[in-house]
Structure 1
Amino acid sequence: MAELITIARPYAEAAFSYAKEQNALQSWSDVLADLAAISENEDMTKFLANPSHSKEQKLDMFLSLLGAASVTDAVKNFLIALAEQGRLSALSFVSKLFEELKAAEEKRIKASIASAMELNDEQKSKLSAALNSKFGVDVDVEYTTDSALIAGVRIKVGDWVVENTAVTQIQKLGAAIAH
């Protein structure tokens, strides 16, 4: 996985640079998301891994699945560059890295909040406001429920994690008793 991310980074940066220059970040984001979905398909993964298919056949498959409406000259040239280097399998990572660059450009970050029970709108609003204030940018929050937490919340923003759950407290208590 780390190797594909390394391979994908220059392509994502090139696509981002071009999209930003053309004021087309959202359209490129959409196209890359579609390409990532195509590349992650189980049948497509097998097709790409099959050495009996030429680079041209692999490129043609992507172009046909993407649809004529999404295939601009720039997108086609981008796919040609990936195909010539045998990098079409890295498209899901290209898309992911592009989204990270786009979020940074738009001064947005992503956060995930897991709670033992469904949070109400007021709680979600307070948590979102607190995160926006802490990080000084717009924070896109994804809320999930995880009954295994028993009670409390786990908040993740990149490498920053706050875990105030019953499970964590029980583990700390157990460790304190053991010492």
Structure 2
Amino acid sequence: MAELITTARPYAEAAFSFATENKQLAEWSDALNNLAVIAQDAQMEKFIGSPRHSDAEKLSVFESVMGSKLSDSVKNLLVALADNGRLNALPEVAKLFDQLKATAEKRIKATITSARKPTAEQQRKLSAALNTKFDAEVDIDYVVDDSLISGIRIKVGDWVVDNSAVTQLQKLGAAIAY
């Protein structure tokens, strides 16, 4: 997985740079996400990985599925990926592109997991606190997981705060064991 990220990063950065210069971030994001969905199809993954099919054949399938939604500039990226045998990196390219886009737009995603659904007032306070902490507009997905017993787990990228009862009990158990 780390290798695929390394492979995808230069393509995502080049696409992001081009899209930014041409004020086409939304269009590129949509196109890359559509291409990623196509590339993640089980049959398509086999097709892409098959040495029996030429780069032109692989490219042709993407073009036919995308139809008029495939701009010339996005097609150029596809050609570069195909020429280098990297079409399998499309999902990661789309993901990295969207991360770059979100950063540029000062938007980030967070997941808040709790044992029960937070009230509207709690959601408002959590949103305000995260917006302030990250100096960005935080899009929050709320997840209910009753196995946490109580408390909350907040995840924003690599940053995690886990104040759930189940985690506290696990820490206590580990401390007692030593």
| TM-score normalized by the length of structure 2 | 0.95
Percent same amino acid among aligned pairs? 60
Other-structure match for 2:49: 49
Other-structure match for 2:5: 5
Which residues of 2 match residues 84-95 of structure 1 at below 5 A?
Answer: 84-95=83-94
Other-structure match for 1:106: 105
| TM-score normalized by the length of structure 1 | 0.95
Q: SS where residue 59 of structure 1 aligns?
A: helix
Q: SS where residue 114 of structure 1 aligns?
A: strand
Which residues of 2 match residues 39-78 of structure 1 at below 5 A?
Answer: 39-68=39-68, 70-78=69-77
Other-structure match for 1:32: 32
Deviation at 1:67, TM superposition (A): 2.0
Which segments of 5 or more consecutive residues in structure 2 lack a partner in the other structure? none
Q: Counterpart amino acid of 1:117?
A: R
Q: Counterpart amino acid of 2:76?
A: N
Deviation at 1:176, TM superposition (A): 3.8
Other-structure match for 1:138: 137
The alignment of Structure 1 onto Structure 2 pairs a total of residues equal to 178
Deviations 1:10-34 (A, max 9, x none): 1101100010011010110000000
Structure 1 Cα separation of the partners of residues 172 and 88 of structure 2: 47
Q: SS where residue 152 of structure 2 aligns?
A: strand
Deviation at 1:172, TM superposition (A): 2.7
Structure 1 Cα separation of the partners of residues 171 and 21 of structure 2: 51
Structure 2 Cα separation of the partners of residues 141 and 101 of structure 1: 18
Coordinate RMSD, CA, aligned: 1.2
Structure 2 Cα separation of the partners of residues 160 and 3 of structure 1: 22
Q: SS where residue 163 of structure 2 aligns?
A: strand
Structure 2 Cα separation of the partners of residues 167 and 7 of structure 1: 38
Structure 1 Cα separation of the partners of residues 176 and 85 of structure 2: 56
Identify which range, 85-94 or 133-142, moves more after superposition: 133-142
Q: Counterpart amino acid of 1:4?
A: L
Structure 1 Cα separation of the partners of residues 135 and 79 of structure 2: 40
Other-structure match for 1:162: 161
Identify which range, 139-148 or 6-15, moves more after superposition: 139-148
Deviation at 1:171, TM superposition (A): 1.7
Structure 1 Cα separation of the partners of residues 52 and 139 of structure 2: 43
